[in-house]
Chain A
Amino acid sequence: DAKTTQPPSMDCAEGRAANLPCNHSTISGNEYVYWYRQIHSQGPQYIIHGLKNNETNEMASLIITEDRKSSTLILPHATLRDTAVYYCIVRVPGYSSASKIIFGSGTRLSIRP
């Protein structure tokens, strides 16, 4: 079972920041938070990951609360191409059996013009 809870759908106006929440209240100390997205039926696309510090890359920012029980993915200037299903995943990095990605239902983000 997925260890995360996400709203099933959200929408955002084009050009605005899209803030996608994720609850992971049972996260353990060695688990990282990963975000992927899937546009239509394409292969999931890696976005960003982090342990406890906030992270930023060219695609997005990841804000993790101090207690690590929740996080928010921020797309700073959403475009129509950001319409996708966004998955928040917690996992232990590496190649052990604990490292497999368990996808939940994700959040379907719709960007409106």
Chain B
Amino acid sequence: DSGVTQTPKHLITATGQRVTLRCSPRSGDLSVYWYQQSLDQGLQFLIQYYNGEERAKGNILERFSAQQFPDLHSELNLSSLELGDSALYFCASSVGGGPGTDTQYFGPGTRLTVL
């Protein structure tokens, strides 16, 4: 158990809908990262937040957005869902900062199925 929690574990929805995935980082961690893992793309970095501010962006679609709240939990919002958005979505957290404090610990993931 990494200490990172994600809800829900599974989500089934229809094309065109909007969903919100939630992540609670490990106690004391300030950084949150989101990753998408699909069968054909592997694990892809989406976005990173540090203490409420966006720090880095990866291959995140414009239909997707994220935020980190004052209590440091994070939400990933996916809208206008398409079949190709079906994937595992992982959240990771780290203390943040330099060597020794930025190792990322991953949550168990949310499996999204778009029908």
Chain B positions within 8 Å of A101 at CB level: 33, 35, 45, 104
Q: Please indicate the chain B residues that have their CB under 8 angstroms from the CB of A32 in the complex.
A: 99
Which secondary structure dominates where chain B touches chain A? strand
Whether B98 sits at the interface, judged by CB under 8 Å, is yes
Most B CB within 10 A of own CB, among A32, A43, A94: A43
Interface size class of B (residues with CB under 8 A): 20 to 34
Interface residue A105 (Cβ < 8 Å from any Cβ of B): yes
Among A45, A49, A93, chain B packs the most CB atoms within 10 A around the CB of A93
- Bound Cα distance A97, B55 (Å): 7
How many chain A residues sit at the interface, stated as a range, is 20 to 34
Contact with B along A67-93 (1 / 0, CB 8 A): 000000000000000000001000001
**A111 shortest CB reach to chain B, Å:** 22
Does A51 count as interface, using CB distance less than 8 angstroms?
yes
Pick the contact of B56 from A41, A42, A44, A97 — CB < 8 Å?
A97
Q: How far is the CB of A93 from chain B (nearest CB, A)?
A: 4
CB-nearest residue of chain B to A93: B99
- Ordered nearest first, which 4 A-B pairs have the shortest CB separation? A43-B106, A103-B43, A97-B56, A93-B99
Given contacts A43-B109, A95-B96, A101-B33, 7 further A-B contacts (CB under 8 A): A32-B99, A44-B92, A46-B104, A51-B99, A94-B98, A95-B97, A97-B57
* Residues in A lying within 8 Å of B, measured CB to CB: 32, 34, 38, 41-46, 49, 51, 87, 93-97, 99-105
Sample (27) of A-B pairs whose CB atoms are under 8 Å apart: A32-B99, A34-B103, A38-B43, A41-B111, A42-B108, A43-B92, A44-B43, A44-B90, A44-B106, A45-B2, A46-B105, A93-B98, A93-B99, A93-B100, A94-B98, A94-B99, A95-B50, A95-B56, A95-B97, A95-B102, A99-B48, A100-B48, A100-B58, A101-B33, A103-B43, A103-B44, A103-B45
